[in-house]
């Protein structure tokens, strides 16, 4: 006997058997209903005194039978897919008079059903009115669904279901093509921030999320801030909100939801299941960006390690399928890349990468020793991502790579020779950008890179003084440096002075001290060098003999 789902408790064995026999029914693929099925369904429903639900596929085969309403049906789990409609339709009974309810219609919408049908069962167990609904195309002004006028079921017997569904599919993909052409076909994403009382801070996180999304090559089509006193352990923002988000995604033709807070593995899975959208959180997004930008073998190994460590707990219950691997922007979504890698191989890979990174760390250490013996002071350039570190390093040493207006442009720290007045030769080293709520996985994996910061004699902290939130970014960097156990003196550079409002520069100078500079225009560099030289001399660095004359 095939399994009957839903509220089957208390039913007699013979009743269950007859309900289960519904699996043997088959409808013509272009018809909503046949008279025989209408009568059978109505009579059975009346007899057991409960509604019955059937899920049918495009071929008209019954794939699920359940006792209960639309919401009681467990739909076949499909991976995330490119298809616009799910290819399933739902046919169910309503005991007594009554049209499609709001919960019925949200099942139609959330499951992207081809069609939803409700057959009224009259008091004598005969089939009565038939209620039908289809999804409406996203750009339509009406609701998300189109409800047809209820009619006695036999009047709908020759409705061309197949034709309706194909026309809808066609319209859906046409609209999608139009949107793709219009914005250059980056992956369209809805960004979701959560405000549990943080206020402006939550807005800042959302703005930054948009920046990160663009850096990763996505198109942030909407930013939504959700206000909630407390977060839902299962759905984070609650089931109702997810329904809204799914509706919005549908209208905006977005395929991805990106959350500004980290999701637990279970939340990510649930949200993905309920919305059918690809789900990413902030950490994954940052990891994606790091993966895109990592150019050296060492940086690549570090990023891969971080990604694997983040993924591992998220694979629980996924069996051998690592469908979330490569679930990032621009790559394919879960359900499509079913890499058959088992956890054991994953563990091996992690061990291999860790060993490799240890080798790199060793080599770095040797290089540092060599430098120490020569006694050349090291100045590390640190700061929030996109603050202008690389540009400043370049200005201070007049060589090297161009700065890039993308977050995390630098993943490989560069070290370059430069000169400071009264000190002589020094080495400047560039570093990876900092960011608030730095993902733990990255902090660990990038330890090797940041070790150079710990070894530095002096730090230049580059702060973008031209953007809002400078104080906050300053604090984030300072706290992270404390976390890393960095003790070296810090010279603050208030960068992008050419663009900053004079009052902001003045205000930041008063609050934090620091030297206004423009790495781009080359102003303030002399003063910055003097401040660095002073800090080094205060530390007891011996000036090189000839340097006293520079």
Ligand X SMILES: Nc1nc2c(ncn2[C@@H]2O[C@H](COP(=O)(O)OP(=O)(O)OP(=O)(O)O)[C@@H](O)[C@H]2O)c(=O)[nH]1
Which one of Mg ion, ligand X, none is in contact with 504 (Cβ closer than 5 to 8 A by kind)?
none
Under the binding rule (CB under 5 A), the answer on residue 495 touching Mg ion is no
Contact 177, 50 (CB under 8 A): no
Residue 484 touches which of Mg ion, ligand X, none (Cβ within 5-8 Å per kind): none
Give dist(CA 1, CA 19) in Å, integer.
10
Count of residues of this chain found to bind ligand X when the rule CB under 6 A is applied: 23
Of the ranges 14-22, 269-277, 280-288, 379-387, which one interacts with ligand X (CB under 6 A)? 379-387
CB nearer Mg ion, residue 295 or residue 511: 295
Candidate residues 390, 397, 429, 449; the one interacting with ligand X per rule CB under 6 A: 390
**53 touches, from ligand X, Mg ion, none (C-beta below 5 to 8 Å by class):** none
307 binds, among Mg ion, ligand X, none (CB under 5 to 8 A by kind): none
Binding partner of residue 429 among ligand X, Mg ion, none, CB under 5 to 8 Å per kind?
none
Helix (H) or strand (E) holding 187: strand 187-195
At its nearest, how many Å lie between ligand X and the CB of residue 224? Answer: 27
* Cβ neighbours for 384, distance < 8 A, ≥ 6 positions apart: 433, 434, 435, 462, 463, 464, 473, 476, 477
Taking the complex as a whole, the smallest distance from the CB of residue 406 to Mg ion amounts, in Å, to: 9
Find which of ligand X, Mg ion, none residue 391 binds, CB within 5 to 8 Å per kind: ligand X
DSSP per-residue codes, 449-514 = HHHHHHH-SEEEEEEETTSTTHHHHHHHHHHHHHHTT--S-EEEEEE-TTTS-HHHHHHHHHHH--
- Alpha-carbon gap, residue 187 to 217, rounded angstroms: 7
- Single residue of 409, 427, 442, 481 touching Mg ion by CB under 5 A: 409
Which of 74, 62, 80, 67 has the alpha carbon at shortest distance from 8?
67
Stretch that binds Mg ion, among 125-133, 183-191, 252-260, 381-389 (CB under 5 A): 381-389
Query: Is the CB of 223 or the CB of 391 nearer to ligand X?
Result: 391
When asked if residue 416 is in the footprint of ligand X (CB under 6 A), the reply is: no
Instruction: Out of 106, 223, 410, 495, name the contact with Mg ion by CB under 5 A.
Output: 410
Q: Shortest gap between Cβ of 449 and ligand X (angstroms)?
A: 12
Q: How far is the CB of 172 from ligand X (least distance, A)?
A: 38
Of 70 and 387, the one with the shorter C-beta distance to ligand X is 387
The three state secondary structure string of 371-406 is HHHHCCCEEEEEEECCCCHHHHHHHHHCCCCCCCCC
Minimum CB separation of residue 330 from ligand X in Å reads 19
Whose Cβ is closer to Mg ion: residue 314's or residue 389's? 389
Looking at the Cβ atoms of 171 and 467, the one nearer to Mg ion is: 467
Nearer Cβ to ligand X (45/386): 386
* Cβ burial, residue 389 (10 Å; 0-12/13-18/19+): buried
Region near ligand X per CB under 6 A, out of 240-248, 366-374, 450-458, 518-526: 518-526
**Residue 310 tokens, joined:** 């983040």
128 binds, among Mg ion, ligand X, none (CB under 5 to 8 A by kind): none
With CB under 6 A as the contact rule, the residue among 109, 382, 495, 514 that binds ligand X is 495
Cβ atoms < 10 Å from Cβ of 357: 17
* Pair of tokens at residue 141: 């002004």
CB 331 within 8 A of CB 312: no
Only segment of 95-103, 117-125, 491-499, 508-516 that touches ligand X (CB under 6 A)? 491-499
Could you give the string, one character per residue 433-472, with x where binding to ligand X holds by CB under 6 A and - elsewhere? x---------------------------------------
- Using the rule CB under 5 A, which residue among 256, 390, 397, 495 binds Mg ion? 390
Q: Which residues does 104 contact at the CB level (< 8 Å), separation at least 6?
A: 69, 70, 71, 116, 118, 133
Minimal CB distance residue for Mg ion: 410
Name which of 86 and 391 has its Cβ closer to ligand X: 391
The distance of closest approach from Cβ of residue 416 to Mg ion in the complex, given in angstroms and rounded to an integer, is: 13
Q: Which of 409, 438, 490, 536 binds ligand X (CB under 6 A)?
A: 409
Are 114 and 89 spatial neighbours (Cβ–Cβ below 8 Å)? yes
* 496 contacts ligand X (rule: CB under 6 A): yes
Cβ-in-10-Å burial (0-12, 13-18, 19+) of 199 comes to exposed
Smallest distance, ligand X to C-beta of residue 495, A: 5
Q: Are 393 and 456 in contact (CB under 8 A)?
A: no
Q: Does 473 bind ligand X (CB under 6 A)?
A: no
d(CA 523, CA 395): 10
Integer Cα distance of 24 and 9 in angstroms: 22
Nearest CB to ligand X, comparing residues 129 and 287:
287
| Phi-psi label, residue 491: left if phi above 0, alpha if psi -120 to 50, beta otherwise | beta
Structure tokens at 399: 């060589």
Angle CA 27–31–33, to nearest 5: 65
Helix (H) or strand (E) holding 194: strand 187-195
Q: Does 525 bind ligand X (CB under 6 A)?
A: no
Q: Which of 302, 385, 397, 429 binds ligand X (CB under 6 A)?
A: 385
Least distance between ligand X and beta carbon 275 (Å): 32
According to the binding rule CB under 6 A, does residue 312 interact with ligand X?
Answer: no
For residue 322, with 0-12 CB atoms within 10 Å meaning exposed, 13-18 middle and 19 or more buried, which class applies? buried
Taking the chain, what is the end-to-end CA distance rounded to the nearest angstrom? 93
404 binds, among Mg ion, ligand X, none (CB under 5 to 8 A by kind): ligand X
Residue ranges in contact with ligand X by CB under 6 A: 383, 385-391, 403-405, 407-410, 433, 495-496, 498-499, 518-520
């Amino acid at each position: 006997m095939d399994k009957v789902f839903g509220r089957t408790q208390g039913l007699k064995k013979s009743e269950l058997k007859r309900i289960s026999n519904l699996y043997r029914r088959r409808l013509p693929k272009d018809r909503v209903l046949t008279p025989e099925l209408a009568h059978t369904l109505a009579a059975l429903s009346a007899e057991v005194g409960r509604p019955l639900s059937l899920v049918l596929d495009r071929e008209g085969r019954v794939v699920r039978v359940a006792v209960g309403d639309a919401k009681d049906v467990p739909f076949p789990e499909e991976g995330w897919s490119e298809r616009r409609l799910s290819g399933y339709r739902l046919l169910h009974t309503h005991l007594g008079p009554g049209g499609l309810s709001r919960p019925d219609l949200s099942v139609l919408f959330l499951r992207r059903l081809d069609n939803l049908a409700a057959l009224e069962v009259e008091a004598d167990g005969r089939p009565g009115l038939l209620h039908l609904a289809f999804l409406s195309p996203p750009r339509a002004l009406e609701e998300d669904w189109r409800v047809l006028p209820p009619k006695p079921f036999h009047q709908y017997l020759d409705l061309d279901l197949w034709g309706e569904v194909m026309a809808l599919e066609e319209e859906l993909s046409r609209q999608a093509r139009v949107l793709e052409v219009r914005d250059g076909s980056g992956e369209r994403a809805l960004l979701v921030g959560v405000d549990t009382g943080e206020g402006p801070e939550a807005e800042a996180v959302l703005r930054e999320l948009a920046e990160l999304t663009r850096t990763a090559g996505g198109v942030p089509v909407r930013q939504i801030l959700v206000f909630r006193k407390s977060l839902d352990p299962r759905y984070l923002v609650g089931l109702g909100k997810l329904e809204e988000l799914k509706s919005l995604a549908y209208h905006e033709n977005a395929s991805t939801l990106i959350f500004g807070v980290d999701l637990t593995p279970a939340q990510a899975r649930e949200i993905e299941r309920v919305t059918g959208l690809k789900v990413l959180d902030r950490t994954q997004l940052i990891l994606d960006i790091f993966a895109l930008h990592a150019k050296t073998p060492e940086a690549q190994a570090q990023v891969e390690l971080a990604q694997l460590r983040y993924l591992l707990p998220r694979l629980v219950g996924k069996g051998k399928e690592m469908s979330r691997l490569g679930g990032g922007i621009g790559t394919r979504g879960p359900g499509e890349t079913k890499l058959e890698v088992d956890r054991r191989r994953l563990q091996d890979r992690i061990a291999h990468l860790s060993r490799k990174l240890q080798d790199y760390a060793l080599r770095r250490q040797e290089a540092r020793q060599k430098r120490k013996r020569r006694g050349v002071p090291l100045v590390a350039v640190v700061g929030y991502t996109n603050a202008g570190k690389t540009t400043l390093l370049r200005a201070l040493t007049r060589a090297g790579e161009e700065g890039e207006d993308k977050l995390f442009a630098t993943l490989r720290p560069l070290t370059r020779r430069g000169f400071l007045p009264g000190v002589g030769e020094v080495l400047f080293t560039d570093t990876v950008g900092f960011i608030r709520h730095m993902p733990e996985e990255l902090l660990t994996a990038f330890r090797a890179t940041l070790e150079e910061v710990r070894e530095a004699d002096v730090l230049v902290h580059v702060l973008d003084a031209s953007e809002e939130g400078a104080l906050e970014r300053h604090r984030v960097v300072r706290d992270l440096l404390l976390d890393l156990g960095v003790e070296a003196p810090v010279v603050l550079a208030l960068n992008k002075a050419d663009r900053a409002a004079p009052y902001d520069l003045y205000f930041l100078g008063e609050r934090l001290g620091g030297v206004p500079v423009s790495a781009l225009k080359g102003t303030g560099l002399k003063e910055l060098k003097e401040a660095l030289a002073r800090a080094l001399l205060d530390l007891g660095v011996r000036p090189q003999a000839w340097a006293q004359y520079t």
